[in-house]
Amino acid sequence: MKRKLVVRVLIMVIAVSMFAALLSGCTKDELKLFSALLNSQPVYSYESVASVEYTLDIVPTASSRPSYYSDSTETVYRVLGALYEGAGYDMSVKSTSDKEYSNVKQEVIVTPRLFGGRLENLTTGLWADIDGSDNSKSNLYVLMPKLLSSISKETAGKDYLTMNLGKVYDLLSAEAGFDMSKMPDNAELAELALEVAKPIMDAIVKAALQLKPDELYISGSRPYTDSNWQKGVIYTLRISDSGLKKLVRSAVNDIEKEVVKEVLDAAIDGTIAIIASYADVSEEYQDMLEQLIGAKEYLDKGFDFAYDLAIMVANEYLDKLEGVRVLGPKGFTFDIGVDSNGFVSLWDGVIDVSLDFAGFEKRVLESSYPSDIKRIDFTIKIFYEMTRINKVVYVEMPEVTSANSVSVERLIEASMAADSYWENYYSSYMPYDEDYYSGYLPYEEDYAPCDEEGGVSNYSWSNVAFRPVW
């Protein structure tokens, strides 16, 4: 639980940093883009396409290699780079719902590119037809990659995995003790999400307005027309290596302690509210809720000490990091499109990391051993475009038959039957009755034979009693 809390805190810090980048200098373009990112207009329907590509290059130290460095080490680095070259995924989404989010239809198609794009037949899809008021009418359909479907005999030769939420919930309720009838519906979750998001966003904005990185990050704007001929404006965001360090240092030092506490409280309170909506479903959710409430109390009591210590340690490491390059020449460079209705509809750019690993080990980690890695270059190219926002979007469910699909309910029932079979098998042929075994199996001289009361007896195979070995 504590690790999850740390992850949420890190996510909030990153969000604050990004907003600060957009607010620096408070230029007209930055304020417009910031306003678009905070746009809280509901989205009921849309189509989107996305493409993500990764590259990795581990550059070994050219000279004075450590004595333990070997050719095989360099081979590993080259293999890793080759595996990442061209890796990524393509994704398309179609989604539509009513204004209460109680009836939702969605199609998601994903094609991963792994091992340099050399591994094929990985396309998968998910279709959802959700009736928020009746789980028995809510269905999911998953297009299984050929590689995955061939692993199990139950799914071999099948294209789709189907799931009726009503039937699956009934099975889970019976087998795992979950009361799925108390699950919040989509409309309740959508309303709760809006309630939770507002105080979190308000706290982030308050924190962002206190930052003073003293650098401009929006380099300009230009007209934009998306693939559906929707007009808008593109803003170019650039964060360099030095700009990133200024941003992080400002996030550490310029945000007031009370505002940091407000951001953390909003995040934790929001999480507690969401988990509380599931608390009646199972004891696991109830335990999670109690742990979160305990974490909030712990944070309230120890916040001042933890904050002062964190600021001191963060500044110490930021000082060490000043002489270490983290981002490559492109840094964070993104074209961000905002349509005429104020929705952010385009992200197109790159995250260019070029970590001076040798310097990082020496200055930040204070390692006395020479590194066999000089630099780690890692890039992520991202393209995402959303169109037909709040317009008519058609989502067609796949044609699923008993011949081309297998249901999750059937797999669960088969698994339950198998578990029951083995339980009966072991209870019939390998009983756990203590009277059946009353001593250890003697093995050479490690164990002395026992009499029926557990005491050591004279060695004689005729009077050895055994206890269960498990």
What is the tens place of the pLDDT at every residue in 260-274? 999 999 989 988 988
Residue among 57, 79, 117 nearest 352 (CA): 57
pLDDT in tens, 445-459: 444 444 445 444 444
Poorest-pLDDT segment among 281-290, 310-319, 349-358, 416-425:
416-425
Are the C-beta atoms of 317 and 347 separated by less than 8 Å? Answer: no
Residue range 131-157: average pLDDT?
78
pLDDT in tens, 175-205: 666 666 677 776 677 777 778 888 888 888 8
**pLDDT of amino acid 392:** 92
Residue range 380-386: average pLDDT?
94
Task: At 197, list the tokens.
Answer: 């998001």
Are the C-beta atoms of 108 and 124 separated by less than 8 Å? Answer: no
In this model, does residue 301 exceed pLDDT 70? yes
Name the burial class of residue 165, with classes exposed (0-12), middle (13-18) and buried (19+) by CB atoms within 10 angstroms of its CB: buried
Total number of residues shown for the chain? 470
Give the global pTM.
0.74
In this model, does residue 281 exceed pLDDT 70? yes
Q: Determine phi and psi for 153, rounding to 5 degrees.
A: -70, -25
* 190/44 Cα distance (integer angstroms): 11
Residue range 241-252: average pLDDT?
91
Give residues with Cβ within 8 angstroms of 117, minimum separation 6: 86, 87
Name the burial class of residue 295, with classes exposed (0-12), middle (13-18) and buried (19+) by CB atoms within 10 angstroms of its CB: middle
Task: At 116, list the tokens.
Answer: 């340099």
**pLDDT of amino acid 30:** 60
* 325/333 Cα distance (integer angstroms): 17
At position 77, the amino acid (one-letter code) is: Y
CA 169 from chain center: how many Å?
A: 24
**pLDDT of amino acid 276:** 86
**pLDDT of amino acid 284:** 79
pLDDT-based confidence at residue 170 (cuts at 50, 70, 90): confident
**pLDDT of amino acid 165:** 83
pLDDT-based confidence at residue 286 (cuts at 50, 70, 90): confident
Tell me the sheet residues that pair with 56: 378
Please report, rounded to a whole number, the percentage of residues in the chain having pLDDT higher than 70.
71
In this model, does residue 435 exceed pLDDT 70? no
More confident residue, 278 or 359: 359
**pLDDT of amino acid 366:** 84
**pLDDT of amino acid 288:** 86
Name the burial class of residue 130, with classes exposed (0-12), middle (13-18) and buried (19+) by CB atoms within 10 angstroms of its CB: buried
Dump the DSSP string for 295-336. Answer: HHHHHHHHHHHHHHHHHHHHHHHHHHHTTS--EEEEEEEEEE
Distances (CA, A) of 149 to 58, 117, 154, 172: 35, 20, 9, 24
More confident residue, 342 or 61: 342
At position 123, the amino acid (one-letter code) is: T
Poorest-pLDDT segment among 110-124, 361-375, 431-445:
431-445
DSSP E strands in 62-205: the ranges are 87-97, 103-113, 124-131, 139-143, 160-164
User: How many C-beta atoms lie closer than 10 Å to residue 391's C-beta?
Assistant: 13
